[in-house]
């Protein structure tokens, strides 16, 4: 598929199902936003989230875009093994190959920014420019505070009010973290914790491997 095809591709909908394809033996879900596709934007979400988190932001930029559910998130596959950052970066690059995207703008939030950084290190010629939100670095040894945050007993004890407080801290205008958004994030966490899902502890361990 040529990159310019996104100019006429139906725009993604928050409630609508994503497209799916298989790369590196894993099924990857993604959403497309119509608009000029050169250079185009590839948007990558953070932990405990999926492609819908960045959809409204990307739409406001009026450019063609691909928003990806990383393996283990959203409608993408639940890998039967840990899926470290370098493998997630390869999956995104392989999807871009499938779509005919050579050198897009990379937009990554939190863990998605880590994936974008890894892709830039592995394939620098595939990056037009980068926009990184709360990326940190790619230190293979995570800080003790991060390990503690994702400790199993801490995740099991989290409450609705704690998640709401965390969301307020993530946005510059607390009222932007609406009840609807909170409910969706709670639902996403529930999906990750569900039997057979890629639970948050496993995801966190995967995220630690640069």
Q: Which of 2-11, 59-68, 76-85, 179-188 has the lowest mean pLDDT?
A: 2-11
Query: What is the reported pLDDT for 135?
Result: 81
Whether the model pTM is above 0.85: no
List pLDDT tens digits, range 61-85: 989 999 999 988 888 988 776 678 8
List pLDDT tens digits, range 97-114: 999 999 999 999 988 999
Domain total of the chain = 1
Q: What is the DSSP string of the chain?
A: --GGGGGSSPPP-SSSPPEEEEETTEEEEEEEE-S--SS-EEEE--TT--GGGGHHHHHHTTS-EEEEE-TTSTTS---SS---HHHHHHHHHHHHHHHT--S-EEEEETHHHHHHHHHHHH-GGG-SEEEEES-----SS--HHHHHHT-HHHHHH--HHHHHHHHHHHSSSGGGS-HHHHHHHHHHHHHHHSTTS--HHHHHHHHH--
Residue 38 pLDDT level (bands cut at 50, 70, 90): confident
Q: Give the domain range for residue 94.
A: 3-208
Query: What is the reported pLDDT for 169?
Result: 57
Q: What is the CATH number of the domain that holds 159?
A: 3.40.50.1820
Answer whether residue 4 shows pLDDT above 60.
no
């Amino acid at each position: 598929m040529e990159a310019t095809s996104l100019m006429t591709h139906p725009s993604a909908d928050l409630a609508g199902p994503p497209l799916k394809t298989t790369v590196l033996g894993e099924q990857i879900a993604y959403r497309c936003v119509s608009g000029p596709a050169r250079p185009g934007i590839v948007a990558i979400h953070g932990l405990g989230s999926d492609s819908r988190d960045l959809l409204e932001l990307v739409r406001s930029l009026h450019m063609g875009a691909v928003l990806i559910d990383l393996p283990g998130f959203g409608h993408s596959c639940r890998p039967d093994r840990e899926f470290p950052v370098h493998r997630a970066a390869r999956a995104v690059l392989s999807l871009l190959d499938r779509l005919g995207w050579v050198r897009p703008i990379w937009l990554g939030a939190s863990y998605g920014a880590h994936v974008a950084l890894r892709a830039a290190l592995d394939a620098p010629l595939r990056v037009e420019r980068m926009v990184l939100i709360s990326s940190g670095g790619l230190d293979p040894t995570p800080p003790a505070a991060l390990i503690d945050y994702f400790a199993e007993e801490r995740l099991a004890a989290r409450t609705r009010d704690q998640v709401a407080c965390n969301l307020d801290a993530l946005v510059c205008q607390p009222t932007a973290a609406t009840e609807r958004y909170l409910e969706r994030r709670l639902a996403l966490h529930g999906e990750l914790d569900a039997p057979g899902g890629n639970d948050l502890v496993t995801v966190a361990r995967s995220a630690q491997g640069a």
